């Protein structure tokens, strides 16, 4: 992560939300452990659930203002609906506890995905993004990096020496690699770009990087690949 990326207001907002979601999850898990372990205080379950609901409700404006994709927002809203439904379940329905935890975890995953894919927003710089890409793909040849960026190796070397506004393809490749690196080795991530994918209509990600209209499909495919193979 570059210094510019770390200080970007959008990323700081996501980090704050992520911390709050983690705290809500930890508080709820502690409450469930106490409630289920001590039936005599079961009357406090409703109060504890209500507190979690209030904290999540307080997060909603921040979540709505976060820089999330359409797909991420859809997942987020679905998770919030599931949590609210579980909160309203009868007190003797013990499955509601698991449903709330699953919903909170889904919210957490959306925020973590957004953090992984964040590449600096308006403050992004071509040289810094290239450094970030190369640090995420250690051991790859410069010709491989050039292939991903659709330029020749000499252009990569020139970009590494001078700051400038990044083009769409560089930003997209960095976002995709940020997702893939959690499940693939550098060589595996490179192979992902070169391989035809059914969820992309039999096309290779490498062939779609210059088309802004395919960005959402590419990110969805990367997340799917990461979730399928990550341990």
Q: What is the pLDDT of residue 146?
A: 96
Angstrom distance (rounded) from CA 166 to CA 182: 24
pLDDT more than 90, % of the chain:
29
Angstrom distance (rounded) from CA 41 to CA 106: 29
Give the tens place of pLDDT for each residue, 59-77. Answer: 777 776 666 767 777 888 8
Q: What is the pLDDT of residue 68?
A: 73
Q: What is the pLDDT of residue 46?
A: 62
- Residues in the chain with pLDDT values less than 70: 1-8, 10, 34-46, 48-49, 64-67, 69, 91, 116-123, 226-231
Residue 200 parent element (H or E): none
Angstrom distance (rounded) from CA 207 to CA 17: 35
CB neighbour list of residue 177: distance below 8 Å, 6 or more residues apart: 133, 136, 137, 189
The structural domains of the chain, ordered by start, are 3-117 (1.20.120), 124-229 (no CATH)
Provide the 3-class DSSP secondary structure of residue 197.
strand
């Amino acid at each position: 992560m570059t210094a510019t990326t770390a200080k970007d207001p959008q990323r700081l907002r996501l980090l704050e939300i992520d911390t709050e979601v983690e705290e809500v999850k930890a508080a709820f898990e502690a409450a469930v452990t106490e409630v289920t372990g001590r039936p005599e205080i079961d009357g406090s379950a409703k109060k504890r659930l209500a507190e979690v609901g209030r904290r999540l409700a307080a997060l909603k404006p921040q979540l709505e203002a976060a820089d999330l994709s359409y797909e991420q927002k859809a997942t987020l809203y679905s998770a919030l609906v599931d949590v609210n439904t579980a909160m309203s379940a009868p007190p003797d329905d013990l499955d509601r506890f698991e449903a709330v935890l699953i919903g909170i975890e889904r919210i957490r995953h959306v925020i973590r995905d957004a953090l992984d894919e964040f590449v600096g927003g308006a403050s992004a710089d071509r040289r810094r993004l290239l450094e970030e890409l190369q640090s995420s793909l250690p051991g790859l040849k410069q010709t491989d990096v050039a292939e991903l960026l659709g330029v020749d190796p000499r252009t990569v070397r020139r970009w590494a020496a001078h700051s400038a506004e990044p083009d769409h393809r560089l930003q997209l490749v960095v976002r995709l690699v940020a997702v893939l690196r959690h499940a693939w080795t550098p060589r595996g991530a490179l192979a992902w770009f070169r391989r035809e994918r059914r969820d992309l209509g039999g096309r290779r990600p490498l062939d779609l990087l210059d088309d802004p209209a395919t960005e959402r499909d590419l990110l969805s495919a990367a997340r799917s690949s990461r979730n399928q193979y990550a341990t």
